[in-house]
């Protein structure tokens, strides 16, 4: 039997643009850069870094990413108008390889109610947008927004005109997550069969998940001949989200027999990248999420476990290590050295520099004194806590003591460090220890916040597991997230509050220096 070479499918990641539009997922500049480095290490072909005209913060992020990230094509989004396109190019010009992505809605409902434009006007605007972008760079993508609900005859006309104008990628977005796999397949096939110059462009799909079909629709587009998939890590994005990168990539890899495709994604980076994004955005990944959820490879039923012991393929279609889960979860103990910790951190997806490793190792030793067995989850929580502390050096916890109980107003004594100084407050106030911690932090720092969300979960198993706390607080109409981790849940809570307050302080400083807009928090 002759085997044909697999067809390469480009992975266009839009975590930093469409993903970042998802409620509660906004990231600051440093966080976007951290995600951008992780996406480059993951091997995405194209990284949509943002929508430069949207805000000064978006512009700055695209510019920084274009100037520093090497490997993937860096893309900036623009509507089909001169101002957007010029701004996109200003942000992108330092990229090793740049792409301008212009979009314009094409469906009847958008034409009539949003744009108030005729079909001919839409075509003229699309053509002039592509041509203006092309004057800056030769990699231009055109998106027919709401393509999935656009009359097919008109869609074919717009696509032909955009290619004629010079677009080299044509994106077919299912903007509202309305289409089905059968329909998507037919739509891509129709474009391939009916647009005379379609061989001059790559067809891309961009599916939203409102009906839970984004991955299935993207696979259908690929089966019909699309050569690019637009997706996000953990499937984050507007409303129900976008096509999930890890799911669509692993579906193509696991069923290569069916799709005959290949991607450049280093799949063993999927779990670390998913965790990093979840940590930064505070958006948890559900336990049973395909590919990267904590339970994705856990076998509970006895009959499954028995089958797995005899031959893992009885119940396992992918190997956990292929997507970046560690082979074993039980790792280090009291006697483990720095090299072992560095090794483990690397396997978990963290490249620590000498200083970071020392900080994490110091905390690791303290934890190892309290806890016999240290699991991967503990190490991840420790590293992330140290990175958060180091990147937000404004306020850190020195110590606390708490007196609390049933029917008693809690009393907390808290000491914080800021630069070389320490500050102590004793506060007897609040509806329980968490509320008391908020009061004490506010009294010392002088920044008032309202707690909107508070979540605690264990990083690993056992009564001595590290507790991870996520808080969401509001300050002057903006929402800020904070994370903390410790074996002591009150300490983790204080760290999470400080992490959020340090973001507020950083944001205030940046705003004072005129670099970003308030939306960037």
In the list ligand KIV, Zn ion, none, the entry touching 209 (Cβ below 5 to 8 angstroms by class) is none
In the list Zn ion, ligand KIV, none, the entry touching 106 (Cβ below 5 to 8 angstroms by class) is none
In whole angstroms, the minimum distance from the beta carbon of 230 to ligand KIV comes to: 7
Contact letters (x/-) for ligand KIV, 214-253, by CB under 6 A? ----------------------------------------
Among 15, 28, 106, 143, binds ligand KIV (CB under 6 A): 143
Which residues make Cβ contacts (< 8 Å) with residue 236, sequence separation at least 6? 15, 19, 22, 25, 242, 277, 281, 283
The H-or-E segment that residue 159 falls in is helix 152-165
CB 417 within 8 A of CB 384: no
DSSP, res 244: B
Comparing CB distances to Zn ion, the nearer of 234 and 502 is 234
In whole angstroms, the minimum distance from the beta carbon of 77 to ligand KIV comes to: 6
CB 402 within 8 A of CB 426: no
- Whose CA is closest to 101, among 135, 54, 128, 141? 141
In whole angstroms, the minimum distance from the beta carbon of 187 to Zn ion comes to: 16
In whole angstroms, the minimum distance from the beta carbon of 69 to Zn ion comes to: 22
In whole angstroms, the minimum distance from the beta carbon of 418 to Zn ion comes to: 42
Decide the pairing of beta strands 330-332 and 261-262: unpaired
Comparing CB distances to ligand KIV, the nearer of 173 and 181 is 173
In the list Zn ion, ligand KIV, none, the entry touching 384 (Cβ below 5 to 8 angstroms by class) is none
- Does 206 contact ligand KIV by CB under 6 A? yes
Contact letters (x/-) for ligand KIV, 78-117, by CB under 6 A? -------------------------x--------------
CA atoms within 13 A on the CB side of 391: 17
In the list Zn ion, ligand KIV, none, the entry touching 263 (Cβ below 5 to 8 angstroms by class) is none
| CA-angle at 43, arms to 39 and 47, nearest 5° | 50
Among 60, 145, 209, 247, binds ligand KIV (CB under 6 A): 145
Composition of the chain by helix, strand, coil, percent to 5 = 45, 20, 30
Contact letters (x/-) for ligand KIV, 149-178, by CB under 6 A? ----------------------x-x-x---
Among 10, 15, 18, 107, binds ligand KIV (CB under 6 A): 18
Burial of 257 (0-12, 13-18, 19+ CB in 10 A): exposed
CA atoms within 13 A on the CB side of 153: 2
In the list ligand KIV, Zn ion, none, the entry touching 143 (Cβ below 5 to 8 angstroms by class) is ligand KIV
**Residue in the structure block whose two tokens are 């002039």:** 128
In the list Zn ion, ligand KIV, none, the entry touching 103 (Cβ below 5 to 8 angstroms by class) is ligand KIV
In whole angstroms, the minimum distance from the beta carbon of 237 to Zn ion comes to: 6
In whole angstroms, the minimum distance from the beta carbon of 203 to Zn ion comes to: 16
CB 301 within 8 A of CB 309: no
- Does 209 contact ligand KIV by CB under 6 A? no
CB 379 within 8 A of CB 330: no
Comparing CB distances to ligand KIV, the nearer of 21 and 356 is 21
How many residues of this chain bind ligand KIV (CB under 6 A)?
A: 9
In whole angstroms, the minimum distance from the beta carbon of 193 to ligand KIV comes to: 23
In whole angstroms, the minimum distance from the beta carbon of 103 to ligand KIV comes to: 4
In the list Zn ion, ligand KIV, none, the entry touching 145 (Cβ below 5 to 8 angstroms by class) is ligand KIV
In whole angstroms, the minimum distance from the beta carbon of 34 to Zn ion comes to: 23
Exposure string for 160-171, b = 16+ CB within 10 A, e = fewer: bbbbebbbbbbb
- Considering just the CA atoms, what is the radius of gyration of the chain in Å? 25
Backbone angles phi, psi at 244, to 5 degrees: -80, 125
CA 351 to chain centre: 19
Tokens for 38, please give them. Answer: 């992780």
In whole angstroms, the minimum distance from the beta carbon of 200 to Zn ion comes to: 24
Backbone angles phi, psi at 16, to 5 degrees: -85, -5
- Does 491 contact ligand KIV by CB under 6 A? no
DSSP output for 76-113: EEEESSHHHHHHHHHHHTT-SSEEEEEEEE-SHHIIII
Comparing CB distances to ligand KIV, the nearer of 187 and 481 is 187
Q: Is 419 left (phi over 0), alpha (psi -120 to 50) or beta?
A: left
Which residue's CB comes closest to Zn ion?
18
Contact positions with ligand KIV (CB under 6 A) in 275-334 = none
The binding site for Zn ion (CB under 5 A) comprises: 18
DSSP, res 209: -
Comparing CB distances to Zn ion, the nearer of 171 and 384 is 171
Summarize as ranges the residues that interact with ligand KIV (CB under 6 A): 18, 103, 143, 145, 171, 173, 175, 206, 208
């Amino acid at each position: 039997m002759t085997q044909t070479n697999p067809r390469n499918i480009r992975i266009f990641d839009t975590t930093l643009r469409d993903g970042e539009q998802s409620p509660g997922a906004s990231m600051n500049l440093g966080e976007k850069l951290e995600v951008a480095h992780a996406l480059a290490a993951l091997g995405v072909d194209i990284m949509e870094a943002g929508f430069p005209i949207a805000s000064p913060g978006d512009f700055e992020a695209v510019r920084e990413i274009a100037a520093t990230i090497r490997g993937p094509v860096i893309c900036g989004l623009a509507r089909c108008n001169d101002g957007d396109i010029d701004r996109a190019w200003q942000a992108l010009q330092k990229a090793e390889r740049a792409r301008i992505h212009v979009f314009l809605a094409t469906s009847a409902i958008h034409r009539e109610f949003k744009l108030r434009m005729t079909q001919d006007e839409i075509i003229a605007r699309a053509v002039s947008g592509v041509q203006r972008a092309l004057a800056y760079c030769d990699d231009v993508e055109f998106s027919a927004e709401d393509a999935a609900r656009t009359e097919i005859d008109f869609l074919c006309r717009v696509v032909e005109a955009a290619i004629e104008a010079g677009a080299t990628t044509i994106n077919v977005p299912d903007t509202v997550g309305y289409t089905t796999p059968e329909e998507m397949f037919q739509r891509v096939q129709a474009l391939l069969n009916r647009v005379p110059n379609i061989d001059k462009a790559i067809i891309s799909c961009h599916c939203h998940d409102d009906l839970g079909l984004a991955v299935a629709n993207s696979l259908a587009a690929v089966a019909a001949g699309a050569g690019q998939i637009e997706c996000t890590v953990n499937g984050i994005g507007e409303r129900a989200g976008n096509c999930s990168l890890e799911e669509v990539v692993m579906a193509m890899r696991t069923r290569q027999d069916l799709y005959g495709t290949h991607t450049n994604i280093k799949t063993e980076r999927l779990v670390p990248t998913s965790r990093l994004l979840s940590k930064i955005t505070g958006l948890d990944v559900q336990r049973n999420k395909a590919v990267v959820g904590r339970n994705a490879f856990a076998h509970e039923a006895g009959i499954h476990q028995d089958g797995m012991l005899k031959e893992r393929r009885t119940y396992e279609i992918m190997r956990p290590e292929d997507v970046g889960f560690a082979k074993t979860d039980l790792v280090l103990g009291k006697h483990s050295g720095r090299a072992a910790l560095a090794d483990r951190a690397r396997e978990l997806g963290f490249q620590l520099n000498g200083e970071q490793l020392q900080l994490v190792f110091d905390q690791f030793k303290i934890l190892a004194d309290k806890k016999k067995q240290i699991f991967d989850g503990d190490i991840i929580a420790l590293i992330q806590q140290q990175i958060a502390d180091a990147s937000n050096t404004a306020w850190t916890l020195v110590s606390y003591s708490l007196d609390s109980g049933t029917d008693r107003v809690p009393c907390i004594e808290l000491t914080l460090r800021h630069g070389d100084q320490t500050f102590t407050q004793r506060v007897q106030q609040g509806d329980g220890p968490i509320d008391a911690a908020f009061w004490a932090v506010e009294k010392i720092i002088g920044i008032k916040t309202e707690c909107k969300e508070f979540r605690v979960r264990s990083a690993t198993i056992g009564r001595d597991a590290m507790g991870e706390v996520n808080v969401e607080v509001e300050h002057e109409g903006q929402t800020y997230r904070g994370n903390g981790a410790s074996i002591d849940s009150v300490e983790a809570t204080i760290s999470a509050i400080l992490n959020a307050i340090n973001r507020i302080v950083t944001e205030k400083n940046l705003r004072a220096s005129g670099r970003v807009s308030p939306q960037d928090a």
